[in-house]
Structure 1
Amino acid sequence: MRSPMLPLDSTSRSVDRLTTPPSTGVQRSFDDLGMPLAEVTFCVLDLETTGSSPNDCSITEIGAVKVRGGECLGTFHTLVNPGCAVPPEITVLTGITHAMLYRAPRIESVLPALLEWMGGAVFVGHNVRFDQSFLDAALVRTGRPRIANRTLDTCALARRLVRDEVPNCKLGTLASRLRLDHQPSHRALDDALATTDLLHVLIERAAGLGVTGLDDLLMLPKLGGHADLAKLRLTERLPRAPGVYLFRGHQGEVLYVGKATDLRSRVRSYFSSDTRRKVDALIRETAQFEHRVCANTLDATVRELRLIHQHRPRYNQQFRRVDQAAYVTLTTDAFPRLTVVRTPSAKALVHLGPLPSTRVARLVVEAIETAVPLRRCRARVGANGRDGMCTSAQLGVASCPCSGAIERDAYAPLVERVVRGIEHEPDLLLEPLRDRMLTLARQERFEEAADMRDRAEALASALRRQRRIDALRDTGAMRVRVPGNGGVDLHCGCLVRSWPEGADPDTELPFETARQPDGATGGPRVPLARAVADEVHAVSSWLQANAVRIELLATDVGFAELLPAVPSFSARPSRMLKPNT
């Protein structure tokens, strides 16, 4: 019987520029690789039956082989009385006759011994779903639960690893072409022995792709027929830990940056049956993978953001265009108006942003101007005014101080309403939009109602994001811990230090201290840059997701949101301001 080649110490030629390479002689943790294949117990099982339907047909023979590390631990073989006649075509195929089964035990008495013998071994079969379906049907008929062992299909694994070497993946063909020690004969034990030989050959082939653990072997049959499947070997150094990963091209350029709670599983998932052309193109252009193990999931999220902002990878859609951010500000003129700017001034009466684009910013401006009739014209307001009102004022949707139709004392309450609505009382802006939307819907002006809904949702999303960012900026220094996920030090909402579970934050910092982005400090009136705002929002999302488990270890001030909630105007999650993921 062949012994599998299990290279537990194999290394990848991929370059890990973000981590210190492992020193010579240091073996990686088995937790990083999953259970090594040399330690896995496989139960290779084959059944002979009276037909192909598990509901209408019965088992006539069971053969099984238990192996670990290439060594046979034992075999299990028995004929089974099906309680019915064996069809002639089955007798011709297998040689099993009714006379052979007459004194054989019934399946009810065989199952307990079989299940005890299998134990928790990985259930292996050639077209394992067929064998599992008959066993499950027999278990259900005898009042027992279905088999719960992990399963591995050598037929599917052969399609992945040797399909180009054989005309088909039938067990007989594979045994002949690969010159296995045992040849199948349509008898259960012979077929199980042949399948065992095949399993060992396939494990040898899988080792060439960097498959060294059980989890990777079980995933391999599910991988799509990717032309660059050989690049899977580049991922063999990836650990099972939270962190960030980079796809690099042949010139060293960063193609894509991502984060994961399990780096190994996440990167290998790109080789699965994902049919998106974008993923196929990404894998084709990738020459190496890099990774950085992080202390916890927040550390990984923040580092992902910073790497995207630094490299601007062309396969990353989110957070890449930090220079396209826009802000809505209320000017400090005698008669203030709303403007959309790229670089806001701290002197503005109020600001909202950063927003992902000028398109979203204009939608927010339209929403506020619909709720409050601020002036919309850009003309300078003179001392004597001008003849005629602007178009918006003539339509009755805006004030027109430039014509002298409204005085400063009458205009001031409108400005105050906008400031209060953005800072503390969102209903002052959102309720008029809701009323207008419902009115349009009752009048069956559904397209206009949908447009009003989109404006309201854009404004509500911007207000929610702004509120979460401002709440963290006001907290100053804060130290929190999430049981099982380490802890972090925050300053004005930015990550400045992180540590894994079990480490002392003051004396044991195995990871590089996270850098605090520029522009994170300052009073709440100072608008944040897009890159910093993305990071603070990511921190806020992490705190919200772990709110019931967070332990607050130290803080300069309390952290709680006492303002009224901002309602949602969309039945689906807003795509305008999608939270960091």
Structure 2
Amino acid sequence: MLPCFVMLDLETTGGSAVHDRITEIAAVRVENGVEVARWSTLVNPGVSIPPFIQSLTGITDAMVEDAPTFAQVAPRLLELLDGAVFVAHNVRFDHGFVVNELARLEKPLKIKTLCTVRLSRKLYPQHKGHGLDAIMQRHGLHTLARHRAMGDVEVVLQWLQLAQAELGAEVLQREAKTLLQGSASLPPLLETPMEDIPDTPGVYLFYGEGSIPLYVGKSVNMRTRVLSHFQSASKVAREMRILQEIRRVEWRETAGELGALLLESRLVKELQPLHNRQLRKERQLSAWMLHAQADARPLVQLVRMDDVDATAMGQLYGTYRSKRQAMDALRLLADTHQLCPQALGLESGKGACFAHQIGRCKGVCAGHEPAALHRVRLEMAMAQHRLQAWPHPGRVGVREHHAASGRTDIHVFDRWCHVATVHDEVSLADVQQSRQQVLAFDLDTYRLLLKRLAPPLGRERAVFHLPGLSS
């Protein structure tokens, strides 16, 4: 297939190359079509293996208890990979784990990669499934060690031999070399060396000839993500346009995914990149506020988020980019739940509304339904759109640390708003003592924090209360 490659497979404690660890490695080195080395080992991950993973792979905590650590097996792995192409089924997964494990040892890995999933798509485009199970079923391949590293390596090697027999060695070599060149191909006018882009979390910015970015993106591994843009250019029109225009890449590192998400959202709104369609700056973001009095007319008032104090978040319903969007949403609620358009301010007039006359309103306007009951039904109809009140007594901090880079970020939030990001305890103390006069509500930040800050703090050790002033 290739002059020199290593077929590699890993078993791990989970799917995140940043947070999970390797439990088993298997590698077979092939030179000029001949196997020259074969190696496999269990690896002590230093953490417990989740029950689901144990049942899937058959690798238990007891099996890896006396196994060597990754640091102990790294020299042998690097020896096998030296001068070879890193080949794996879904290579980004295996390569990502190896890169992160080596980064923890301060040993960068620069190596070409080839994905046999992509190779299968090239060789057998008539088939839809290209996962290992699909390939085994399609070609009648068998193994007694599925989901064990060497068992999976042997299956892929069997498949390569079968593909060569079916399609010919020339076809296999040509498609493998095409993929290898494609994975290494870069935009013709790119001035930034790819090896300079760190494989850490952060935000990357694509620039053309002008000062406005073409695109802003985020990733837990910026180098890998940037390469994926270039690799998908042949299939995605937007990626092709970026590929043709890009001249340089800039980046800003963060300690983790949360910091990258926050920074991406802010930079997109500030810089307005040409090819970003989401996270754009919200203009006149508004929400419905429900009147406390059941007989008030109208029962709801459309308010701009900029004009609402952050403490009133729990009294708001929905977030809308325009008045028209808000009115359409309210009309749909009224129609679905037989609410009175007059009472909601959607229609003017007195007496029975038109909706009541055609049986689409239960008649609060005509005295046929108590106002209090109508208001309760309205509140229930709007409940799923209600914004959450800030669940903490004051400011909270979220700490992120990246072991490989040594970077620590502490993100400070108050009432769903991002107050600041600092990197040490001194700066954190300054933020605690400061009072920010205006906290700007941002819908993207609110949605992001709902998943991370709404549960009790005890569920997330990286989140902690901050004593001192609230804004």
Contact 1:494/1:516 (8 A) holds in 2: no
SS at structure 2 position matched to 1:322? coil
* Separation of aligned partners in 1, 2:461 and 2:289: 35
* Separation of aligned partners in 2, 1:498 and 1:320: 21
Q: Indicate which of 406, 411, 417 corresponds to 2:367.
A: 406
Pairing of 1:163-182 with structure 2 (within 5 A): none
Letter in 2 for 1:257: V
Asked whether 1:493 is paired with 2:416, we answer yes
Pairing of 1:97-112 with structure 2 (within 5 A): none
Counterpart in the other structure of 2:228: 269
Shift of residue 540, structure 1, vs aligned partner: 2.9
Counterpart in the other structure of 1:196: none
Counterpart in the other structure of 2:298: 336
Alpha carbons of structure 1 residues 122 and 273: separation in structure 2 relative to 1, 3 Å: farther
Asked whether 1:479 is paired with 2:441, we answer no
* Separation of aligned partners in 2, 1:140 and 1:411: 70
Matched residues, number: 329
Cα-to-partner distance string for 1:67-99 (whole Å, 9 max, x where unaligned): xxxxxxxxxxxxxxxxxxxxxxxxxxxxxxxxx
Letter in 2 for 1:429: A
Shift of residue 268, structure 1, vs aligned partner: 1.7
Q: Indicate which of 362, 365, 380 corresponds to 2:330.
A: 365
Letter in 2 for 1:270: H
Pairing of 1:131-530 with structure 2 (within 5 A): 145-146=150-151, 221-223=181-183, 228-229=187-188, 231=190, 233-274=192-233, 275-323=235-283, 325-330=285-290, 334-338=296-300, 346=308, 350-356=315-321, 361-369=326-334, 370-371=336-337, 373-376=339-342, 385=350, 389-398=352-361, 405-406=366-367, 410-415=370-375, 417-418=377-378, 421=379, 428-429=380-381, 460=384, 462-463=385-386, 466-467=387-388, 470-472=389-391, 475-481=393-399, 486=408, 487-498=410-421, 504-506=424-426, 519-520=438-439, 529=441
* Separation of aligned partners in 2, 1:413 and 1:63: 78
Cα-to-partner distance string for 1:441-487 (whole Å, 9 max, x where unaligned): xxxxxxxxxxxxxxxxxx73x33xx22xx235x54211344676854
Quote the RMSD (CA, aligned, Å): 5.7
Q: TM-score normalized by structure 2?
A: 0.53
SS at structure 1 position matched to 2:31? strand
Contact 1:248/1:255 (8 A) holds in 2: yes
Shift of residue 327, structure 1, vs aligned partner: 2.4
Asked whether 1:533 is paired with 2:436, we answer no
* Separation of aligned partners in 2, 1:395 and 1:121: 76
* Separation of aligned partners in 1, 2:36 and 2:394: 65
Letter in 2 for 1:554: H
Counterpart in the other structure of 1:550: 461
Cα-to-partner distance string for 1:513-550 (whole Å, 9 max, x where unaligned): 9x999842xxxxxxx64xx2322322333447997442
SS at structure 2 position matched to 1:223? helix
Runs of 4+ in structure 1 displaced over 6 angstroms? 116-119, 125-130, 137-141, 168-171, 399-402, 515-518, 544-547
Contact 1:329/1:341 (8 A) holds in 2: yes
Shift of residue 498, structure 1, vs aligned partner: 3.8
Identity score, percent: 20
Q: TM-score normalized by structure 1?
A: 0.44
Structure showing greater relative contact order (alpha-carbon pairs closer than 8 Å, 6 or more residues apart): 1
* Separation of aligned partners in 2, 1:126 and 1:417: 61
Alpha carbons of structure 1 residues 138 and 389: separation in structure 2 relative to 1, 3 Å: closer
Shift of residue 277, structure 1, vs aligned partner: 0.3
* Separation of aligned partners in 2, 1:123 and 1:492: 54
Structure exhibiting the larger radius of gyration computed from Cα positions: 1
SS at structure 1 position matched to 2:204? strand
* Separation of aligned partners in 2, 1:289 and 1:125: 26
Runs of 5+ consecutive residues of structure 2 not aligned to the other structure: 1-26, 38-75, 88-113, 120-134, 136-140, 157-169
Contact 2:396/2:466 (8 A) holds in 1: yes
Shift of residue 230, structure 1, vs aligned partner: 5.4
Letter in 2 for 1:406: G
SS at structure 2 position matched to 1:300? helix
* Separation of aligned partners in 1, 2:438 and 2:448: 16
Contact 1:313/1:320 (8 A) holds in 2: no
Runs of 5+ consecutive residues of structure 1 not aligned to the other structure: 1-40, 48-61, 66-115, 152-167, 174-201, 203-217, 422-427, 431-458, 521-527, 558-581
